[in-house]
């Protein structure tokens, strides 16, 4: 009976220690669904999945801190998932729905957004800033880009080129934003 209790306790500890990482992987999965739906031309679903990914992204760090299970692995995993859910997925959504109209320029602006998001996340992972972010977080940039899709009927298409470039530059800029 003691051996069984020990096995159960270890299993519960292992599961508990991976709770935040599970939320992060759900974020990744939602970003993956968003990309697939965008590629299939189902842009509304893509927007919804990116928004759900943002909810899970918001909670993974909170859960890790509250349960005292933060880890370097979790930090790296979060960044890798964020580049998918808030870098690649919104970029594909906007490219497939709008920027493809601009040919090669649309492709380049899409790649610039993804690259700036990757730079932003890499910089975040190698620097320690207590209480503030340097540059616009990729989650915010990706969500702004995603929500902008909802305005595609009322905003001139060239505005999206300006928006994606502006968000890209804000991600790699050096201004500080207080953490909330």
Please report, in tens digits, the pLDDT of each residue of the chain (180 residues total).
666 665 655 655 666 667 888 889 999 999 999 999 999 999 999 999 999 999 999 888 777 778 777 777 888 888 999 999 999 999 999 999 999 999 999 999 999 999 999 999 999 888 877 778 889 999 999 999 999 999 999 999 999 999 999 999 999 999 888 877
Per-residue pLDDT at 20: 81
pLDDT digits (tens, 9 = 90+) for 50-84: 999 999 998 887 777 787 777 778 888 889 999 99
Q: pTM of this prediction?
A: 0.88
- Between CA 54 and CA 4 the distance in angstroms is 39
- Between CA 33 and CA 39 the distance in angstroms is 10
Half-sphere exposure of 52 (CA within 13 A, CB side): 17
Q: What is the DSSP letter of 149?
A: G
Instruction: Tell me the domains of the chain and their CATH numbers.
Output: 15-178 (1.20.120.1760)
Q: Which helix (H) or strand (E) holds 145?
A: helix 138-148
Per-residue pLDDT at 74: 80
Per-residue pLDDT at 15: 61
Q: What is the DSSP letter of 87?
A: I
Which ranges in the chain belong to alpha helices (H)? 2-17, 19-39, 43-66, 72-82, 89-97, 104-126, 138-148, 157-172
- CA dihedral (142, 148, 150, 155) in degrees, to 10, reads -160
- 80 exposure class (CB count in 10 Å sphere: 0-12, 13-18, 19+): middle
Per-residue pLDDT at 55: 93
- 45 exposure class (CB count in 10 Å sphere: 0-12, 13-18, 19+): middle
């Amino acid at each position: 009976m003691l051996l069984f209790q020990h096995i159960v306790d270890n299993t519960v500890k292992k599961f508990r220690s991976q709770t935040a990482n599970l939320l992060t992987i759900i974020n990744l999965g939602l970003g993956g669904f968003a990309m697939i739906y965008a590629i299939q031309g189902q842009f509304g679903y893509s927007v919804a999945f990116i928004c759900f990914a943002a909810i899970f992204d918001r909670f993974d760090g909170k859960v890790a801190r509250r349960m005292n299970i933060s880890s370097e692995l979790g930090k790296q995993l979060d960044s890798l998932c964020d580049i998918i859910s808030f870098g690649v997925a919104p970029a594909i959504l906007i490219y497939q729905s709008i920027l493809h109209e601009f040919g090669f320029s649309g492709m380049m602006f899409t790649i610039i957004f993804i690259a700036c998001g990757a730079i932003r996340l890499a910089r975040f992972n190698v620097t320690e800033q207590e209480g503030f972010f340097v540059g616009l977080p990729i989650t915010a940039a990706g969500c702004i880009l995603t929500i902008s899709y909802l305005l595609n009927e009322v905003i001139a298409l060239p505005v999206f080129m300006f928006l994606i470039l502006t968000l890209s530059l804000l991600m790699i800029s050096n201004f500080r934003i207080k953490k909330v």
